[in-house]
Amino acid sequence: MARILFAFLCLLPLFSADTDWPINGGPYNIRYSELTQITPANVGQLRVAWTWDAQEAFKDSEMQSNPIIVDGMLFATTPKMHVVALDARTGKEIWNFDASGGEPIQRRFRHRGVTVHEDRVFATYRNLLWAIDRKTGQPIRSFGEDGHIDLRKGLGRPYEKLSVSASTPGVIYGDLIIFGSSVPETLPGAPGDLRAYDVRTGALRWTFHTIPHPGEFGYNTWPKDAWKVSGGANAWAGLSVDPKLGMVFAATGSASFDFYGANRHGDNLFANCVIALDAKTGKRIWHFQGVKHDLWDLDFPAAPSLVTVTRKGKKVDAVAQVTKQGFVFLLDRRTGSPLFPIEYRKVPASKLDGEKAASTQPFPVKPPPFARQVFTEDMVTTRTPEAHQAVLEQLRKLDPAAMYTPPSTRGTVLMPGTDGGAEWGGAAYDPETGLLYVNSNEQPWIIRMVTQDTTSLYNNNCAGCHKADRTGTPPTFPSLVGIGERRTRAELVKYINEGTGRMPGFSHLRNGVDEIVTFLLTGKDMAAVDLTAAAKEPGYQKYRNEGYILMRDPDGYPPLKPPWGTLNAIDLNKGEIRWRIPFGEYPELAAKGMKDTGSDNYGGPVVTKSGLLFIGATSFDKKFRAYDKLTGKLLWETVLPAAGNATPSMYEIGGRQYIVIVCGGGKNDAPSGSSIVAFALAETR
- Same domain as 477, residue 431: no
Alpha carbons 24 and 213: distance in angstroms, whole number: 31
Alpha carbons 585 and 621: distance in angstroms, whole number: 6
Question: Side chain identity at 309, as an amino acid letter?
Answer: V
Judge whether 314 lies within some domain.
yes
- Same domain as 565, residue 496: no
- Same domain as 640, residue 513: no
**8 A C-beta contact, residue 115 and residue 239:** no
Alpha carbons 454 and 234: distance in angstroms, whole number: 31
Task: Report the candidate in 21, 501, 31 with the shortest Cα–Cα distance to residue 240.
Answer: 31
Start-to-end CA distance of the chain, whole Å, equals 20
**8 A C-beta contact, residue 84 and residue 116:** no
Burial classification of residue 490, based on how many CB atoms lie within 10 Å of its CB (0-12 exposed, 13-18 middle, 19 or more buried):
exposed
Burial 177-195 (b: 16+ CB within 10 A, else e): bbbbbbbbbbbbbbbbbbb
- Same domain as 33, residue 161: yes
Judge whether 543 lies within some domain.
no
- Determine which helix (DSSP H) or strand (DSSP E) holds 565, and give its type and residue range: strand 565-571
- Same domain as 297, residue 191: yes
Residue range of the domain that includes 386: 16-447+552-680
- Same domain as 382, residue 505: no
Strands in 247-251's sheet, in edge-to-edge order, are: 239-242, 247-251, 273-278, 284-289
For residue 108, the domain's CATH number is: 2.140.10.10
**8 A C-beta contact, residue 179 and residue 187:** no
Task: Give tens-digit pLDDT for 443-488.
Answer: 999 999 999 765 677 776 787 778 888 887 765 677 888 887 777 8
Alpha carbons 341 and 363: distance in angstroms, whole number: 9
Judge whether 64 lies within some domain.
yes
DSSP single-letter state for residue 560: B
* pLDDT of 4: 47
Alpha carbons 595 and 587: distance in angstroms, whole number: 8
Q: 26: which residues sit within 8 A by CB, 6+ positions away? A: 32, 33, 606
- Same domain as 407, residue 301: yes
Alpha carbons 71 and 653: distance in angstroms, whole number: 9
Q: 368: which residues sit within 8 A by CB, 6+ positions away? A: 576, 577
Domain boundary among 494, 528, 562: 528
- Determine which helix (DSSP H) or strand (DSSP E) holds 465, and give its type and residue range: helix 463-466
For residue 497, the domain's CATH number is: 1.10.760.10
Q: Is 408 helix (H, G, I), strand (E, B) or coil?
A: strand
Domain boundary among 528, 562, 594: 528
- Same domain as 481, residue 439: no
- Determine which helix (DSSP H) or strand (DSSP E) holds 6, and give its type and residue range: helix 2-15
- Same domain as 439, residue 519: no
> In degrees rounded to 5, what are phi and psi of residue 436?
-105, 130
Judge whether 537 lies within some domain.
no
- Same domain as 480, residue 440: no
The sign of the CA dihedral 418, 674, 181, 170 is negative
**8 A C-beta contact, residue 263 and residue 223:** yes
- Same domain as 215, residue 164: yes
* pLDDT of 462: 81
Q: 202: which residues sit within 8 A by CB, 6+ positions away? A: 129, 131, 143, 144, 145, 148, 149
Number of separate domains in the chain: 2
Task: Report the candidate in 582, 629, 615 with the shortest Cα–Cα distance to residue 425.
Answer: 615
Task: Report the candidate in 29, 432, 102, 58 with the shortest Cα–Cα distance to residue 248.
Answer: 29
Q: Return the axis-axis angle of helices 511-522 and 489-498, rounded to nearest 10°.
A: 130
Judge whether 544 lies within some domain.
no
DSSP single-letter state for residue 657: E
Distances (CA, A) of 150 to 129, 176, 203: 7, 16, 11
Ranges in the chain, pLDDT < 70: 1-16, 453-455, 460, 474-476, 499-511, 526-540, 685
Judge whether 9 lies within some domain.
no
Judge whether 540 lies within some domain.
no
* pLDDT of 642: 98
- Same domain as 514, residue 403: no
Judge whether 374 lies within some domain.
yes
